[in-house]
Amino acid sequence: MTTRREFLELALSMGDCYTDSPFHDENWVLVRHRRNRKAFAFTFERQGQVWVNLKLPRDWGAFFREVYPAVLPAYHMNKEHWSSVVLDGSIPEEEIVRMTEMSFEATR
């Protein structure tokens, strides 16, 4: 998975959520829960690639950062609870799905 479109399709498939651009900056597209309006994914382009900030349980965030070089402390957010995932094709799609599901559940 390397494009924002692919990621947004995945995130929206989690159910009862929508995209939002609250920063008046077309580079930032968020995916929010419809019920509580909490964002669980922040997508943006940086350094020529698509990045996604996801909220992960602390231990899981540390694990993914250790295993995948493309998972970093979150850009522009709390680095303890949020991680940035660079969609450069180096992370198996099933792991991106798993991280997105974790973020979805953590923000319900």
Model confidence over 50-79: pLDDT tens digits? 999 999 999 999 999 999 999 999 988 988
Tens-place pLDDT, residues 91-107: 999 999 999 999 999 99
pTM greater than the 0.85 cutoff: yes
> Residue 27 pLDDT more than 90?
yes
> What contacts 24+ positions apart, CB below 8 Å, involve 59-67?
60/99, 60/102, 64/95, 64/99
CATH 3.40.50.450 assigned to domain 4-106? The reply is: no
Query: Where are the domains positioned within the chain?
Result: 4-106
Q: Which pLDDT score is estimated for 76?
A: 84
Q: Is residue 89 classed as helix, strand or coil in its secondary structure?
A: coil
